[in-house]
Structure 1
Amino acid sequence: MSAVMITRKVRKWEKLPGKNTFCCDGRVMMARQKGVFYLTLFLIVGTCALFFAFECPYLAVHLSPAIPVFAALLFLFVMAMLLRTSFSDPGVLPRALPEEATFIEMEIEAANGNVPAGQRPPPRIRNVQINNQIVKLKYCYTCKIFRPPRASHCSICDNCVDRFDHHCPWVGNCVGKRNYRYFYLFTMSLSLLTIYIFTFDIVHVVMRSVDNGFLNTLKETPGTVLEVLVCFFTLWSVVGLTGFHTYLISLNQTTNEDIKGSWSGKNRVQNPYSHKNIIKNCCEVLCGPAYPSVLDRRGVMQEDSPVSATSAAPYSTSSSSSNPVPQTTKTTAPLIPNEHTPDDAKPSIAASAEKSPSPKEEHPPAPKVPPLASPETDAEASLTKDKTH
């Protein structure tokens, strides 16, 4: 069975390595493990739906109609920041091409020399200077690149991420250079929304308890009780997470660097990225320029895919029926120029005739036999002889 190579155009996101999921023709990029992300959506949407259904009608009449309006605006902002964090490229670095990887390997081997058998090769590290301080760039054996400063390889997404902070299952994506500010705004706005709902749940229960009693109020508003429980257990984790990242932003530090103790370990190496000023650090992290993606997910590339002869048969049949191609048979006999042959082709034909022996020349020539005389020829010969006599 023969195969036919067909060239087709594909998007680059279809051929990107790593463990990511792409939707909307490469516009949406997430991790493959999205179960906890759906739980996050369910908790936020479900809690807000209960609040708008049970508390907002009562509070809008007895307190102020601005309460549900502000809650709706805060809810929309939380959802926008969550989707922006979850559906964006966190700063994935492209892997080296085979030619680039081979060149880097040759450079490393030339720099390290031949390592004796039984000994471990030296670590693949390059040193760069940042703010008068030496920073080590580590080599990624998966991506075949020297990672930039503050980059790290995510084992869940199987990608190197620039300014890698951590992989957050609650948002279903890595948190890195391109989506960290949106992640921080999401945690901060979610903290405000949780506090807002929890506070007005308590106000709603207190106001109803004045008229109906505490137990009767709990029986009449079971949704409020569920909201209070969800907000109570969510409040500590979300507010604590927001406070922790506020601390990291004030130091211009990432979660990965804090866990590893990169700038607070035994070496007591100072953070070269810190401006020694809380306001400057916050402005750089939250108000810095928006970096474009280096993946070019929606770019177009050509791919050669083999197709079997059986699958290509319908296309060949239809093309042959519409545009018939004359079949030619190949013979070994030399070509003989005729009157329809172009003049510039006759020398080449003659040369090929001389090079290729004729089938007749392969056998010895047959002996010549004189032709038999016909009756008419004999009669003419006898008449001529009589006239001469």
Structure 2
Amino acid sequence: MSAVMITRKVRKWEKLPGKNTFCCDGRVMMARQKGVFYLTLFLIIGTCALFFAFECPYLAVHLSPTIPVFAALLFLFVMAMLLRTSFSDPGVLPRALPEEATFIEMEIEAANGNVPAGQRPPPRIRNVQINNQIVKLKYCYTCKIFRPPRASHCSICDNCVDRFDHHCPWVGNCVGKRNYRYFYLFTLSLSLLTIYIFTFDIVHVVMRSVNNGFLNTLKETPGTVLEVLVCFFTLWSVVGLTGFHTYLISLNQTTNEDIKGSWSGKNRVQNPYSHKNIIKNCCEVLCGPTYPSVLDRRGLMQEDLLVSAASTAPASSPSSSSSSSTNPVPQTTKTTAPLLPNEHTPDEAKPSIAVSPKEELPPAPKVPPLASPETDVETSIAKDKAH
């Protein structure tokens, strides 16, 4: 057996660590657990489909034709923001290379010195100053890096995310530095769409009840009843989530920081990222620059493959016949004598008979019946003595 080294080019997203899935040759990046994301799509598309099928034809004729037009535009905007949030890189930080991780470990050991046996090593942190305030950078044992300010490691995606807000199963992705504004616009537009559909569902029922009665209207429009129930239970959660993130944006704070109490704990540490102005904070979060991805998911990298090549083996050995199905090896073929009449299987193929090279030769001529091999031998000996 011999090995051959083959080098081929692959996309970097195929070798990225973490628990993410990629589609469209690395252009789409999502979390591996995205079952709830399909439920979100079903609820939004299903509710809007019922609204366009049952309410819009009646309201466009009896109230205003702009109602379905505005609803369609709002629906398209909601879907665009949802897909933009779900399919984008939230701000995943690349892990340290083996050489970089070794260098960081050496720096940490040199700074901490030798720790006596039985004692706990000091925490791996670095201090940086932001707006005249000390911020601690924590070391990630998985990614082998000191996380930037406001970054955190997502346990579901197994990646460090810059300006990590939270992991949202409803969008099937983390919410971080690169897609937070789209997530907020999604929740805001979805709240408006839910209120819009719920309001015109009530208007539709009221207008029909004037002529047909309330109970008859409910029997004639079962889709409207289903829409009202879905919107009623969805409205509180979506509107409440939008209000909570509006409060966080006004303070320039993340959900992760709010849950941990990073800027409102016992130490009374002030938020160094806040501008002390609601308008400035909103402009920074919603109107700031769009940061490029640092992963280079569709970049090319070389991968070395070790391919084993099988050497030639004799055809009569049983191992060669078993390996011929996996590794193509050259084989030698043997020529045998033509089959006799009424003979179906050659002797060498029969399992009870041992095959030797001598049996492949044509048969020797038969001895006459009057002579035998013993008399021929005695005659030759007598001639030798006479000479």
Shorter-chain TM range is 0.7 to 0.9
CA deviations 1:204-256 (Å, max 9, x no partner) are: 00000001001110010000000000000000000000000000000000000
Q: Secondary structure at the match of 2:312?
A: helix
CA deviations 1:50-70 (Å, max 9, x no partner) are: 000000000000000000000
Cα distance, 1:377 vs structure 2: 52
Q: 1:270 to 1:365 in 2, by over 3 A?
A: farther
Q: Secondary structure at the match of 1:311?
A: coil
CA deviations 1:290-317 (Å, max 9, x no partner) are: 0000000000001001122159999x99
Report if aligned partners of 1:337, 1:346 keep a CA contact under 8 Å in 2.
no
Runs of 5+ consecutive residues of structure 1 not aligned to the other structure = 352-357
Q: Distance in 2 between matches of 1:151 and 1:326?
A: 59
For the pair 1:276 / 2:276, whether they are aligned, the reply is yes
CA deviations 1:181-210 (Å, max 9, x no partner) are: 000000000000000000000000000000
* Higher helix residue share: 1
Q: Distance in 2 between matches of 1:64 and 1:192?
A: 19
Q: 1:16 to 1:332 in 2, by over 3 A?
A: farther
Q: Distance in 1 between matches of 2:212 and 2:384?
A: 160
Moved more, 164-173 or 336-345: 336-345
Cα distance, 1:339 vs structure 2: 62
Per the normalisation by structure 1, the TM-score is 0.80
Q: Rg bigger for which structure?
A: 1
Q: 1:135 to 1:374 in 2, by over 3 A?
A: same
**2:301 equivalent in structure 1:** 301
Q: Secondary structure at the match of 1:312?
A: coil
Cα distance, 1:19 vs structure 2: 0.2
Q: 1:253 to 1:373 in 2, by over 3 A?
A: same
**Could you say what the CA RMSD is over the residues aligned between the two structures, in angstroms?**
11.6
Cα distance, 1:3 vs structure 2: 2.4
Q: 1:17 to 1:325 in 2, by over 3 A?
A: closer
Q: Distance in 1 between matches of 2:114 and 2:244?
A: 47
Structure 1 consecutive aligned stretches of length 4 or more whose deviation exceeds 6 Å: 311-314, 316-351, 358-389
Q: Distance in 1 between matches of 2:102 and 2:374?
A: 92
Report if aligned partners of 1:128, 1:134 keep a CA contact under 8 Å in 2.
yes
Report if aligned partners of 1:337, 1:349 keep a CA contact under 8 Å in 2.
no
Identity %: 95
Q: 1:339 to 1:209 in 2, by over 3 A?
A: closer
CA deviations 1:152-188 (Å, max 9, x no partner) are: 0000000000000000000000000000000000000
How many residues end up aligned between the 2 structures?
382
Q: 1:118 to 1:65 in 2, by over 3 A?
A: same
Report if aligned partners of 1:184, 1:242 keep a CA contact under 8 Å in 2.
yes
Q: Distance in 2 between matches of 1:208 and 1:379?
A: 127
CA deviations 1:123-148 (Å, max 9, x no partner) are: 00000000000000000000000000
CA deviations 1:86-127 (Å, max 9, x no partner) are: 000000000000000000000000000000111100000000
Q: Secondary structure at the match of 1:321?
A: coil
Q: 1:151 to 1:365 in 2, by over 3 A?
A: same
Report if aligned partners of 1:248, 1:254 keep a CA contact under 8 Å in 2.
yes
Q: Distance in 1 between matches of 2:224 and 2:384?
A: 147
Moved more, 333-342 or 255-264: 333-342
Q: Distance in 2 between matches of 1:386 and 1:218?
A: 129
